[in-house]
Copies of this chain bind each other. A is one copy, B any other.
Amino acid sequence: MSESTTKPAKAAAKHVHHELRNINNSAAYLLPKLQAMKDAAPGGHLKILDVGAGSGTISTGFAKLVPNGHVTATDLKEDILERARTIAEAEGVTNISFQQADAYKLPFPDATFDVVHCHQVLTHLSAPSDALREMLRVAKTSGGVVAAREGDLETECVWPPLPGLIKFHDFIVRAMKGAGGTSIAGRQLLSWALKAGVDRGQIEVGFGSWGFHEADEKRIWAQGMINEVRHGRLRQAGLRFGLTESDLEEMSTTWDEWAQKDDASLGMLQGELLIQK
């Protein structure tokens, strides 16, 4: 009902929670600008950089949107880019390339891309305005756009207020900070852009949201959290932070319980930033 009501991604990208992300539920704030730039570009040839693309479900969506353009998708981790290649191939997308890269040191010349985008990347960084400055460097000097959408983890809310999920929320806030990121990214995008040296007049900034009410989305999201807590990085972080096996199991079973409730919901604020160079 609004751009922030999430819809599951399709085809190859159906059963992993990160892969619920698509351009409509995660980059709607950028799409009107992108469409206008595409219409104005000779032959519709736009060059887009997606920084920290992860499994690339958003990058692949951009590539479909600019069939005469090209998307470069980077991530710090090579293994997730393998998954992104698989998804792009399954979707029949060929105008995309993948490259391992550090967001602080992008391996591209100044003023290379029309659009430089990231989603849920700055929140993981200890110096987000440095990464923004680097994204600005590789965006074209006249007409280039830098776009970022970052969750504000502390605003994540769930219904009903099951104790296992409240424990989980407190834990992921600690884990995000413990890994060098911030749990309050969304609210800081304007601050980070100003720190990166951008004039206020070049900045559009607002809030969107991310959330679930539909049974299929809730099942995928809960299963993603359960996998993380039982087998993934959240398990490792939890044990480091002194959580017990019993704590972790309580969180897992509560996510399962939550996903089965008709009236369950989950929501989170997302900061949305557009910088016009």
Residues of A within 8 A of B (CB): 1-5, 28-29, 152, 154-155, 157-161, 184, 186-191, 194, 200, 204-211, 213, 262-272, 274
Contact = CB atoms under 8 A, between A and B. Distances in A.
Q: Which residue, A2, A194, A271, has most C-beta atoms of chain B within 10 A?
A: A2
Nearest to A186: B267
A158 B186 CA distance: 10
Nearest to A161: B184
A190 B209 contact: no
Nearest to A192: B263
Copies of this protein in the assembly total: 2
A267 B269 contact: yes
Nearest to A5: B206
A160 B191 contact: yes
Given A157-B184, A159-B187, A263-B190, A207 B5 contact: yes
A267 B273 CA distance: 14
Nearest to A188: B159
Interface centre among A208, A211, A269 (most CB of B within 10 A): A269
